[in-house]
Structure 1
Amino acid sequence: MKKWNLIVDVEKCNGCFNCFLACKDEHVGNDFPGYAAEQPLHGHRWIDIRTFERGQVPMVDVSYLPTMCNQCDDAPCVRAGQGAVRKREDGIVLIDPDRARDRKELVDACPYGAVWWNEEKRLPQAWYFDAHLLDRGWKEPRCVQACGIGAMRSLQVEDTEMQRIVDAEELQVLHPEYGTRPRVYYKNLYHVTRCFIGGTVISQAGGVKDCISGATVVLHRGERRVAEARTDAFGEFRIDRLEPGSGSHTLEIAAPGHARELRAVELGSSIYLGTITLRPPAR
């Protein structure tokens, strides 16, 4: 059977909050019997936008991560709900607005923090893929419709087809170690989970400094060659998708007509090494 999935491209998301606002517009003040009670005006973020910063001035990378109910195939909230939360055949997770009343423990059942407590209604609530719209023939939830830059895609496909897309686009899920089998996937998640090493390479000869374009920058860890990059027209380089906290590395910088430079780097989080000066080889 075809099931619903959501793909979020972290690299495209610019933090405009349109998805957040579309969710608010759809659910605040609106009651959908059988699906959800109305969302409170304040306090709930069924779709939440988290901000992440990497690097150091002047090389800083700011990324935005939309998070929501992951529509897990092995959802802890479904197990804890004992009938108050159900997993539909199309993959969507629904918290029953009648059966879940006074079940505050369901908020804590979600390891992602995606279930919110409505104190006035005495209800746990979460984003449910706007199933009330899909059941009426809509082709996508409001958040996808509202995303003007295409950072969100919803797909209703067979599991085998979804796995093919996951492999082809190198998609990931949040916290795979939880074992919940989410149906919300992320593209370019390395902007949040990985770190980078960057710097600026210049030459200095005869009292003149200039950017070096096309210099080769190689990162080593022990005897292993980890990654390679080339400097751009401004002499800048960035080696990304590195494991945070991976310890001691050696950076080798080389350019024609210049002496090779070696730098020891201790990699904790993303780092900008500043200006690296290459000089003519010693005679």
Structure 2
Amino acid sequence: MARYAMVIDLQQCTGCGGCIIACMNENNLPEGVRWSGKRTETLGRFPFVRYHYRPTLCNHCENAPCVRGCPTRALHKAEGGITMHDPSKCIGCRYCMVNCPYGVIHYNWRRPHAEWRDNTAVIPGGTSTPAETVQRVGAKGWPIQNPDPDATYASIRPTGVVEKCTFCHHRVVNGQLPYCVEACPANARIFGDLDDPRSKVNQLLGMFRAEQLRAELGTRPKVFYIREFCPCAYEPGKGMVQADDVKQALA
């Protein structure tokens, strides 16, 4: 059985956020819920500034605290070590959210895409209501609903359960890449099998020193970060020493 992992090349990543949009479209995510996110940090003062951008998602840990702590086994391991969730078993206790050290599990307080069930027209008699628009395009929840994840919980989403990234399990089992990987315009995301020595992820992990988020906790994350984007430049030089300053320091 495969052990799937993702490598994110921070030197290639442009910070465009395309992975976030692709994930929302593929998995029919409602506004306010992101399975794929980002962390940004700016250090220094202009013009000497460093900017750090790090894409984030579920790490599909081998030793997943969310799986260990789930009292109903709603969170479980599926093919390739992907951490999956069964909404029919979820009781909404949110222990997984407390146990997850990465903050990537979301709780459904309300049914998603509720605004598309509204029967109020902006202009009565002149515009369609949101509910009529969904009906006319033949969608289930919202006008651009993607039917592909229907085989998984990604399109079920009842109120009172949790949800998170699945590495696009519905695509992987059909031999396709996760959609964030497929959609990345800079090819900064690489997906593959850690047990295949010829896989691209193993090639990259052999070439570059990799970082895992909070690896010291023993979760054994399956998302690896390599390299570091640095657009900064400086005027070449060897520095200097002021002789008078040295003399005063030694006096």
Shared topology, TM-score over 0.5? yes
Cα distance, 1:90 vs. partner? 0.6
Paired residues, number? 192
C-alpha separation between the residues in 1 aligned to 2:2 and 2:202?
A: 12
- Number of the residue aligned with 2:96: 106
- Number of the residue aligned with 2:132: none
Kindly, what percent of the aligned residue pairs are identical?
30
**Structure 2 counterpart of 1:76, one-letter code:** P
TM-score (norm 1): 0.61
TM-score (norm 2): 0.69
8 Å CA contact 2:43–2:50 kept in 1: the answer is: yes
Gap change, CA 1:163 and 1:146, over 3 Å in 2: closer
C-alpha separation between the residues in 1 aligned to 2:214 and 2:225?
A: 11
The one of 112, 117, 120 equivalent to 2:107 is 117
Q: Please tell me whether residue 136 in structure 1 is matched to residue 126 in structure 2.
A: no
C-alpha separation between the residues in 2 aligned to 1:190 and 1:78?
A: 33
8 Å CA contact 1:5–1:184 kept in 2: the answer is: yes
Gap change, CA 1:141 and 1:163, over 3 Å in 2: closer
Q: Please tell me whether residue 87 in structure 1 is matched to residue 111 in structure 2.
A: no
**Secondary structure at the counterpart of residue 133 of structure 1:** helix
C-alpha separation between the residues in 2 aligned to 1:188 and 1:165?
A: 10
The Cα offsets for residues 184-240 of structure 1, whole Å up to 9 and x where unpaired, read as 00012587xxxx9x976xxxxxxxxxxxx4x22xxxxxxxxxxxxxxxxxxxxxxxx
Q: Which consecutive unaligned segments of at least 5 residues does structure 1 have?
A: 29-38, 201-212, 217-252, 255-259, 265-283
Give the structure with the higher percent strand: 1
Q: Please tell me whether residue 63 in structure 1 is matched to residue 101 in structure 2.
A: no
8 Å CA contact 1:49–1:67 kept in 2: the answer is: yes
Q: Which consecutive unaligned segments of at least 5 residues does structure 2 have?
A: 111-158, 246-251
- Number of the residue aligned with 1:177: 216
C-alpha separation between the residues in 2 aligned to 1:165 and 1:261?
A: 45
**Structure 1 counterpart of 2:64, one-letter code:** A
8 Å CA contact 1:101–1:124 kept in 2: the answer is: no
| Structure possessing the higher radius of gyration over alpha carbons | 1
8 Å CA contact 1:170–1:187 kept in 2: the answer is: yes
Q: Which structure exhibits the higher relative contact order, with contacts defined as CA atoms closer than 8 Å and separated by 6 or more residues?
A: 2
**Structure 1 counterpart of 2:95, one-letter code:** E
**Structure 2 counterpart of 1:141, one-letter code:** P
C-alpha separation between the residues in 2 aligned to 1:189 and 1:179?
A: 24
Gap change, CA 1:57 and 1:133, over 3 Å in 2: same
Q: Please tell me whether residue 152 in structure 1 is matched to residue 189 in structure 2.
A: yes
Cα distance, 1:93 vs. partner? 0.4
8 Å CA contact 1:22–1:143 kept in 2: the answer is: yes
Q: After TM superposition, what 4+ stretches of structure 1 lie above 4 angstroms from structure 2?
A: 159-165
The two structures, once aligned, show a CA RMSD in angstroms of 2.5
Give the structure with the higher percent helix: 2
- Number of the residue aligned with 1:275: none
8 Å CA contact 2:11–2:229 kept in 1: the answer is: no
